[in-house]
């Protein structure tokens, strides 16, 4: 059964003069999931977010959000149900935190008065910014501004949260708190779309990823499924003080490929579930084992594998765990850049 989509963008192209910011972009954001838009600067991630809120309309293609056209007459309703944190916090420096949040509360239909103030206090408390609300935003640190922008984005309890580099400028503790909050939101049924170029941040958070380049989607799907496409087998690195003994694994029925280098061997198999059987086989032959490390491709490995496949970066396909295991040389200078925002 196909998942219900909160955002369904099909074949959207958007140009700014000679610059093509989005080119035949397809985006399917499932309801209640965290989708991460990954890509280098200028890949079109910010334009995609603006397209989703209807702040920009497509030149070609269709865009549906909650089943409505955000650039059409239903745009107001779409934007009312979206919470947006842009790459720059987009706050009024001359006003204090209260006034910034009250402005949003009124524009998003929460209204004024005690009920609105209570909601503001709650949202501010989520990001530990409530004690600074009386101060002018111009005096806030970058991290405080980001937290205030985050508080503003959840003020009206949006169904879709659009976050453009939300942890930019945050200290590690605050960044972690934000990521935890994002995870918490989807458990309440909300949908999150997050743009980032910090792959570590997306790792473990993204239910779905979309890798973008030059305004188009190179690949989209669940990280686990995409990983399977690029690395059909799984690997384990086994080390021993008697490395020759490891060669016994070469003929093991569950081993697909075997390669020994130094005191370690890299073993390919269908699944990591085979590891206990391999360890048992070595033990039966009295081969001393000094280390067993299952190698799993990180999101970074996957990201570069996808970009490499499309010629965006040079180099060989990294082995699983390439970024943490074997270093992979990637020539970033060859990566094309786009002028899109």
In the complex, which residues of this chain contact another protein (CB under 8 A)?
Answer: 15-17, 19, 21, 47, 50, 53-56, 76-77, 79-80, 82, 84, 86, 88-95, 99, 103-104, 106-109, 136, 162, 341
d(CA 117, CA 312): 49
The sign of the dihedral angle between the CA atoms of 95, 173, 85, 307 is positive
CB of 143 to another protein, least distance (A): 17
CB of 41 to another protein, least distance (A): 16
CB closer to another protein out of 52 and 255: 52
Q: What would the two tokens of residue 326 be?
A: 């074997």
User: In the bound complex, what is the minimum distance in angstroms from residue 76's beta carbon to another protein?
Assistant: 5
| Residue 110 vs 295, nearer CB to another protein | 110
Helix, strand or coil for residue 26?
strand
User: Per the structure block, which two tokens stand in for 79?
Assistant: 């934007």
Beta carbon nearer to another protein, 35 or 96: 96
Q: What distance in Å separates the CA atoms of residue 125 and residue 119, rounded to the nearest whole number?
A: 10
| Shortest Cβ 56–another protein spacing (Å) | 6
Kindly state the smallest distance separating residue 236's Cβ from another protein, in Å. Answer: 47
Closer to another protein by Cβ: residue 46 or 298: 46
Nearer to another protein, 162 or 226 (CB): 162
Distances, alpha carbon 197 to alpha carbons 42, 132, 143, 176, 325, in Å: 11, 30, 18, 16, 22
Q: Which is nearer to another protein, 76 or 259 (CB)?
A: 76
Q: Cβ closer to another protein: 119 or 219? A: 119
Supply the DSSP string of 155-223, one letter for each residue.
TT--SEEEEESTTTT--HHHHHHHHHHHHHHHHTT-EEEEEES-HHHHTTT-SEEEEEETTEEEEEE-H
Least CB distance to another protein at residue 78 (A): 9
Is residue 73 within 8 Å of 153, Cβ to Cβ? no
Q: Which of 48, 49, 59 is nearest to 17 (CA)?
A: 59
Q: How far is the CB of 50 from another protein (least distance, A)?
A: 7
Half-sphere exposure of 171 (CA within 13 A, CB side): 4
**Contacting residues for 157 by C-beta, under 8 A, at least 6 apart:** none
């Amino acid at each position: 059964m196909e998942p219900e989509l909160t955002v369904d963008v099909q074949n959207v192209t958007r140009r700014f003069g000679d610059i093509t910011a989005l080119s035949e972009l397809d985006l399917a954001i499932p309801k209640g999931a965290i989708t991460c838009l990954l890509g280098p600067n200028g890949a079109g991630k910010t334009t995609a977010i603006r397209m989703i809120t209807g702040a920009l309309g497509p030149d070609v293609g269709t865009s549906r959000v909650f089943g409505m056209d955000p650039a059409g007459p239903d745009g107001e309703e779409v934007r009312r149900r979206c919470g947006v944190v842009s790459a720059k916090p987009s706050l009024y420096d001359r006003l204090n935190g209260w006034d910034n949040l009250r402005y949003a509360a009124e524009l998003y239909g929460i209204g004024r008065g005690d009920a609105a103030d209570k909601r503001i206090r709650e949202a501010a408390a989520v990001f530990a910014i409530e004690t600074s609300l009386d101060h002018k935003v111009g005096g806030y640190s970058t991290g405080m501004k980001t937290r205030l922008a985050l508080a503003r984005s959840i003020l009206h309890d949006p169904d879709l949260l659009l976050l453009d580099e939300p942890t930019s400028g945050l200290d590690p503790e605050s960044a972690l708190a934000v990521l935890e909050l994002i995870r918490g939101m989807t458990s309440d049924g909300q949908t999150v779309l997050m743009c980032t170029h910090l792959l570590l941040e997306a790792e473990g958070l993204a239910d779905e990823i979309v890798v973008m380049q030059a305004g188009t989607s190179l690949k989209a799907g669940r990280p686990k499924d995409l990983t399977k496409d690029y690395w059909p087998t799984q690997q384990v690195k086994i080390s021993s003080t008697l490395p020759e003994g490891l060669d016994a694994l070469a003929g093991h029925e569950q081993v697909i490929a075997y390669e020994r280098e130094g005191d370690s061997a890299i073993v390919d198999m269908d699944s990591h579930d085979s590891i206990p059987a391999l360890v048992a086989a070595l033990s039966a032959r009295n081969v001393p084992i000094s280390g067993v490390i299952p190698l799993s491709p990180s999101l970074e490995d996957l990201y570069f594998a996808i970009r490499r496949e499309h010629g965006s970066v040079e180099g060989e396909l990294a082995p699983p765990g390439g970024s943490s295991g074997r270093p992979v040389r990637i020539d970033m200078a060859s990566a094309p850049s786009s002028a899109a925002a």
